[in-house]
Amino acid sequence: MTDEIFHSIFPRPEMVPAAYAITSPLQQGRYLCDGEIRTWSGPHQDVLSPVHETILDTIQPKLIGSYPLLTEEQALEALDAACRAYDHGRGAWPTMGVEERIKHVEAFAFRMQEEREHVVKLLMWEIGKSLPDAGKEFDRTIDYIRDTIDALKDLDRVSSRFVIEQDVIAQIRRAPLGVVLCMGPFNYPLNETFTTLIPALIMGNAVIFKPPKLGVLLHQPLLEAFRDSFPRGVINTINGEGQKVIGPLMKSGRIDVLAFIGSSRVADSLKKQHPRPHRLRGVLGLEAKNAAIILQDADLDHAVQECVLGALSYNGQRCTALKMLFVHEKIADTFIAKFSEAVDKLQIGMPWDDKVQITPLPEPNKTGYLTQLIDDARSKGARVVNQKGGRVHHTIMSPAVVYPVGPGMRLYTEEQFGPVVPIAAFADIEEPMNYVTQSDYGQQVSLFGTDPEIIADLIDPLVNQVCRVNINSQCQRGPDTFPFTGRKDSAEGTLSVSDALRAFTIRTLVAAKETDTNRRIIKSIITERRSRFLSTDFIF
């Protein structure tokens, strides 16, 4: 019998609001290579939504579409196309002026915006993201593109000056690196892919882009916009199984930058396949196990509110999610009671339901995996402390608060990436501090407390363990102009609107000893506007 909290949760097809219904599956069947959208007649992968439907009293996964399962051959064609477009840095795109490249990206953003409704709907069906969060993901991506354009204009304005040092005159700019392979994660399939793809493109690189395993179809509405907005071969898409299509690209040695958001295990295996690893630059966003430390004097209501958001927004499927809470033992009972109550109030439902917070999980058998983590903790002395916690109905799990979680339990160290919140009580601040220090991950931490002296004492050692210390605030990536990175197994390189422009480029300069001849040559090049690199043109 269905648990009452899941009663009638998966809708009958006619109950899905018309604006969000998928009436016929989206058979993608196409991919973008060398400036043309090619039709694929080979095998396809069906896409089943985690958002199930009730049909004649049975709950069934809904088929929402399919995408091409390309092979090594098409992957290498995409690589050839990107290499041709880049042409060892001599292609039209890498040598194009910045202002001109910006126009292409603006044209793309304009076309992309027309597809908002389509993409948001697919985000809900493919990865179970709630309607407001899916809308936010789309809008945040458009803002990211605009901010990137503004940041590039600033960067270019600064670089349009000459530097004279020790009788050498130079102009220093940032130049592209080559062919970039961009792969984003399933939890932000649009946003996190575009936070690498857009800066890589705008800086003059050629890109091959593979959507994540989940969150593929939502890229289909953008294929034509990509084709029409960029010169041939500058952007190419590939679909298919990672091992078949990505392995050959890495082994070719012709990928110059790997921009990958996912697990460190996959990142390592991809990097190892490159025959000349010193030529490969990595821009990696990897896993994390961010801790919250709730001190004895914390404002509990506020800490509860931030920790619920931090641990359970989008079902806890964020790399920045709070994945382990440490609460001072003197306030542990009160905190846990308040936290559990707040968690049990979260609304479970379909992505388009009003005020929904907990939605179906897209990864295959994710509820089974999370149940194993909870069972492991239970077998070692922890329990699920919230009334409704850990109940499973097909692809949905009601969020579970597990306490007391300690060393030796999988939940203590493993990144759960789902709606399970492990809590430990501490007597000595060294316990959570050691946890953070010993962790394999080093992304962020949240501190909850009110005494500036105690907080200051913790900040100084913590900033050498992680890359962002949040005070009385959940962990998060935004604002996107802030540096987003991590230590240890959590990241390689830094992303932010301006850092990403640097990540996909290398500083390059034209320099000359200050002689009359050289002055004359440089002056002539500039006044006659003979070079796009050596130029004092100013972008307004």
Please give the residue ranges that form the binding site for ligand G3H (CB under 6 A): 187-188, 192, 318-320, 476-478
Least distance from ligand G3H to the Cβ atom of residue 134, Å: 13
CA dist., res. 246 & res. 213, Å (int): 13
Least distance from ligand G3H to the Cβ atom of residue 237, Å: 22
CA dist., res. 129 & res. 119, Å (int): 12
Inter-residue contact 446 to 293 (CB < 8 Å): yes
CA dist., res. 89 & res. 307, Å (int): 48
Least distance from ligand G3H to the Cβ atom of residue 185, Å: 6
The total number of residues written for the chain in this structure:
540
Phi/psi of residue 431, each to 5°? -65, -60
DSSP at 222: G
Single out the residue of 512, 502, 516, 503 nearest to residue 534, CA to CA: 512
Token duo for residue 394: 């097909």
Rounded alpha-carbon distances, angstroms, from residue 113 to 106, 110, 142, 143, 312 = 11, 5, 8, 11, 29
CA dist., res. 424 & res. 390, Å (int): 18
Inter-residue contact 235 to 226 (CB < 8 Å): yes
Least distance from ligand G3H to the Cβ atom of residue 462, Å: 18
C-beta closer to ligand G3H: residue 227 or 323? 323
Least distance from ligand G3H to the Cβ atom of residue 184, Å: 10
C-beta closer to ligand G3H: residue 187 or 416? 187
Rounded alpha-carbon distances, angstroms, from residue 214 to 58, 185, 195, 211 = 24, 8, 18, 8
Residue type, 214: L
**Tokens 């203590």 map to which residue?**
412
C-beta closer to ligand G3H: residue 74 or 196? 196
C-beta closer to ligand G3H: residue 28 or 187? 187
C-beta closer to ligand G3H: residue 473 or 518? 473
Token duo for residue 4: 């009452």
Expressed in angstroms, the distance from the first to the final Cα of the chain is 65
Numbers of helices and strands, H then E, in the chain: 17, 25
Single out the residue of 331, 324, 355, 492 nearest to residue 417, CA to CA: 324
Least distance from ligand G3H to the Cβ atom of residue 491, Å: 10
Burial of 503 (0-12, 13-18, 19+ CB in 10 A): buried
Least distance from ligand G3H to the Cβ atom of residue 144, Å: 11
Least distance from ligand G3H to the Cβ atom of residue 317, Å: 8
C-beta closer to ligand G3H: residue 219 or 477? 477
Least distance from ligand G3H to the Cβ atom of residue 314, Å: 7
Least distance from ligand G3H to the Cβ atom of residue 413, Å: 19
C-beta closer to ligand G3H: residue 140 or 227? 140
C-beta closer to ligand G3H: residue 59 or 309? 309
C-beta closer to ligand G3H: residue 188 or 335? 188
CA dist., res. 18 & res. 522, Å (int): 64
Least distance from ligand G3H to the Cβ atom of residue 429, Å: 26
C-beta closer to ligand G3H: residue 176 or 316? 316
C-beta closer to ligand G3H: residue 188 or 352? 188
Inter-residue contact 188 to 319 (CB < 8 Å): no
**In whole angstroms, how large is the CA radius of gyration of the chain?**
25
